[in-house]
Structure 1
């Protein structure tokens, strides 16, 4: 199966997540970036780090991309998420601001 083409900065972000590179993960967001994890909002890199320490990078998560959709400054990725915290098909919607992520929204895929 061919891996879908993922545009930047989302491609590098996913690589940093799968490599468990916390620094690159955090730097992928704008300074006031946000994560919406099933309705729970974490704004700013400090809040994102605290959330991620338990539920994302800290849980050794890996995303296997299955589908990619691009619409203007939004990239939606659907894939299989596996971690020590949660598992299953998930949808990640990224709002892009230049070369950074303004927001990542996670929902059921």
Structure 2
């Protein structure tokens, strides 16, 4: 495993770590999706609502410990910190061009 992130994923992780909601949302197209343990949030407004209460609003921090790339999917293993969930987690980013079309979160 490596910790080198493709540009679109690096931008999303950096935005989350900077607690920059606008930059995080800009990583997704208008129809982007966040899947947080089966709860799906479609589009910028829904993603913002989820993020405001459970991600950036909870002052998330992501310390990347590994990266695996499989075609358009980038699986990031990270140690999550902040005021919400804390512990290891896996984030699968589906990338199309310079955008993340889907971010799926699992343990």
**Larger relative helix fraction:** 2
Find the residue that maps to 2:57 and give its secondary structure. Answer: coil
| CA RMSD between the two structures | 0.9
**Corresponding residue of 1:74:** 73
How many residue pairs get matched?
106
**Corresponding residue of 1:85:** 84
**Larger relative strand fraction:** 1
Q: TM-score, normalised by structure 1?
A: 0.94
**Corresponding residue of 1:28:** 27
Any stretches of 5+ residues in structure 1 without a counterpart?
A: none
Question: Shift in Å at residue 21 of structure 1?
Answer: 0.7
CA deviation string 1:54-85 (max 9, x = no partner): 00010000000001001111100001001211
Any stretches of 5+ residues in structure 2 without a counterpart?
A: none
